[in-house]
Chain A
Amino acid sequence: MNAIQADHLIKRFGSVTAVNDVNLTVREGEIFGFLGPNGAGKTTTMRLLTGVLTPDAGAVRINDIDIHRHPLEAKMQMGVIPESSTVYGDMSAEQNLQLSGQMYGMPRADRDARVDELLSRMGLTEKRKLPVRTFSKGMKQRVSIACAIIHRPHVLLLDEPTSGLDVQSRRLVIEKIRDMNEQGSTIFLTTHNIEEANTLCQTVCIINKGQIVAQDSPERLKKMFDTTQSVEVSFDRPVTRDLFAGEGIVRAEPCGDKWRLYTDNPDRVLKYLVGRAQRDAIGITSLATSGPSLEEAFVQLTECA
């Protein structure tokens, strides 16, 4: 059974077709990344999947339940974190979680225990009674996540969950997403952060101008669009570009205190750099290789579509 199945979704706003014949399949238990440039139709698709909007055509099934025929049953299966940290600022963290639990019909005793557990896991126990409006953006996002997962949903949908967060909060949010996935939830997330999608997702889907332009694993997408790899090297003294002429180096770019060398054959470049450094008595202070990037695939897909 697929956790999310969207077939031929179309959504128009006046003369603008925001989502045009979108088909999506999210397998149970996977982390699915939904990428696209601004205005590509990510949030509209997300709203169609969560039942906030009704499509002009097509259907969405959550755990095999048609969301537009049985919206309440389908919504019981999922937790949603909209783009902004949308929790009630005048309520405390505890009250927000209690309200969420009530919305999902959790019995009082269950709810109380789960609220305590989530507040502790999110590091909010000490601030549980304070109004959320006094919280930082990262703390609000933690409350928002706790509200969405209070009923242990089968499917968790997140719209730009780490957007605008500091490093610590971003790491914590990613850790919680992984935790939820390890506990069996299927994760659907939209993001601008390609690196995040690359490290987090088993499947990535790219939307552009309302249409899906690619859907595959990050590694396969990268290989499909970018065969060039790179080597990053830094030396103990300045060197000129001449040092990198030939030996399979396609292009050399200064990159801060390092050089980034693009090549189809990193093995040959590494051997050359070590040999050349020994011959010229130059010290290598750092050396690293990196594969094709998902960013390159994303740029190519969204530019040529």
Chain B
Amino acid sequence: MMEIPLALRGILVITGKNMRLYYTKPPVLMFGLLFPLFMFFAFFVGRKLDLFTFFPAFLAMMLFFTASSVGPLITPWEKREKTYERLLSYPVTQDSIILGDVVAGAVFGLGISILVWVASTIFVPVAITNTGLFILAFILGTLSCAALGALLASPASDSPPNVMIFSNLIRFPLIFISGIFVPLAQMQGPGLALAYCSPLTYLVDLFNAAMSGTSVFPPAVDCGVLIGVSAVFILAARVIQTRNLVKGL
């Protein structure tokens, strides 16, 4: 019975440690803010995109890049610095470490995205048709993206650059197949099939439902998929990290 409060405390302390060590560094904060903005300008400026159509997708992209940005690096970095073994010898389990990484990524993604959203509303008159759904989209979106970050930290490597390459090979293609730059309704054939496989698609769709009231899938389906993929990502991270535990210790 004593184990559950200890496990919860472990998650909280690891979240705090990750926020302090990895997420509050000026370069990470700057990258978190600037990268989505550059992506926005790269794809929006000079093209005849409807801002109101693009904004929900922009928010989803923002959440995706911030919440999954540092997570893939934490475990490889700690293994390389030889702090991972000490971490495991504290009263925490590997599950607490993975969940601490997920929560830290989620808090960072949420914080930066809310900041950008608040700043954006000053310049762009965006509407929200369903506030509850909008908040839910933020929470589920940041959770699933942070869980993806934890999964991308799982390969048996203690080299952060290698993990970063692997992580970007997975993350970048996702933004092109998830209805961010081409609305899902306009997709067809293999493109549409690929979009259905991307969790980001459901996040974009949920933001669309919350902001414009139109979506391809019912919001319950979007929420269900995001909860489901979060659980799958966390479980997969647990299985792979347990298998690779000794490598790099």
Contacts and interface: CB of A to CB of B under 8 A. Distances in A.
A complexed with B: yes
Interface string A82-119: 11101111110001000110111100000000000000
B232 interface: no
B76 to A, nearest CB: 15
Given A73-B3, A82-B86, A88 B21 contact: yes
Contacts of B89: 50-52, 75, 78, 80, 82
A50 B84 CA distance: 13
B93 A105 contact: no
A149 to B, nearest CB: 13
B7, B20, B86 interface centre (most CB from chain A within 10 Å):
B86
B246 interface: yes
A118 B10 CA distance: 23
Interface of B: 2-3, 6-7, 9-10, 13, 16-17, 20-21, 81-83, 85-86, 88-93, 245-246, 249
**4 A-B pairs with least C-beta separation:** A80-B89, A72-B6, A103-B90, A75-B91
Contact of A72 (B81, B83, B92, B245): B92
30 contacts: A13-B246, A47-B85, A51-B89, A52-B85, A52-B249, A53-B245, A71-B3, A71-B93, A72-B2, A72-B3, A72-B7, A72-B93, A73-B3, A73-B6, A75-B90, A75-B92, A80-B89, A82-B82, A82-B89, A83-B82, A84-B82, A87-B83, A88-B17, A88-B83, A95-B20, A99-B13, A99-B17, A102-B16, A103-B10, A103-B92
Contacts of A105: 6, 9, 91
Contacts, number: 78
B91 A102 contact: no
Contacts of A88: 17, 21, 81, 83
Given A72-B2, A73-B2, A90-B21, A102 B86 contact: no
Contacts of B7: 72
A102 B6 CA distance: 11
A76 interface: yes
B1 to A, nearest CB: 10
Contacts of A276: none
Contacts of A95: 20
Given A72-B3, A73-B2, A95-B20, 13 more contacts: A53-B246, A70-B2, A71-B91, A71-B93, A72-B91, A73-B3, A75-B89, A76-B6, A86-B81, A88-B21, A89-B81, A91-B21, A102-B16
A205 B93 CA distance: 29
A80 B7 CA distance: 19
